[in-house]
Amino acid sequence: MPAHAPTTRPATSPLTERQEERRRRILRASTQLAGRGGFDAVQMREVAEASQVALGTLYRYFPSKIHLLVAVMQDQLEHMHGTLRKRPPAGASAAERVAETLMRAFRGLQREPLLADAMVRALTFADRSVSPEVDQVSRQTAAIILDAMGLQDPGPAQLSAVRVIEHTWHSALITWLSGRASIAQVKVDIETVCRLIDLTEADTAGPAAP
């Protein structure tokens, strides 16, 4: 970390309208840089220049490039979640709806492979200092899955299935980005893991009547 980067975490108090607008500019600039050149293209000085903020100000919002790119992924997931709520999946079963949702999300990332690679690399490189931001990415992904399932109050079995589905989706994204899996293989893996949802429904349905 550069010598001028702060050693303390940014305050968690709500941002003012001006601060929020500045944060949006930073995220927008970072997204554009990553989309054009991937992980290596996102340099803090270039982000500061592109978003028209001082470098020291940028570090107050995001202590490192990893924090910044994980925040970009949060932003992308929020946008994705909003889009899915406007046009929800149409599958007959919860498993079908989740698989459709994750494949739509995957295809969205497929259209921006350099951006997807930058975000996934940031998640992979994130250390303990980025744990709150990484946890937020996980919560957002889980919320997308639960919305597709149609569950408001999931039990332990459903939450366990959601975690496994989330891990599989993330792993499938990594293998695709590295050229080790085709889109067709990713689709099969996603559809297969989503069948766990059927098992959790059976678990919560209770024993059959004698």
Per-residue burial over 44-54, b if 16 or more Cβ lie within 10 Å, else e, is beebbeebebe
For the residues 62-77, what does the mean pLDDT come to? 96
Is residue 173 predicted with pLDDT exceeding 70? yes
Tell me the one-letter amino acid at 33. L
The pLDDT value given to residue 208: 39
Q: 6-37: per-residue pLDDT in tens?
A: 333 444 568 798 999 999 999 999 999 999 99
- Give the rounded percent of residues in the chain with a pLDDT score beyond 90: 76
Provide the pLDDT confidence category of residue 101 given band limits of 50, 70 and 90: very high
Provide the pLDDT confidence category of residue 131 given band limits of 50, 70 and 90: very high
For the residues 67-96, what does the mean pLDDT come to? 93
For the residues 191-202, what does the mean pLDDT come to? 87
Provide the pLDDT confidence category of residue 152 given band limits of 50, 70 and 90: confident
For the residues 125-137, what does the mean pLDDT come to? 94
For the residues 61-90, what does the mean pLDDT come to? 94
The pLDDT value given to residue 210: 41
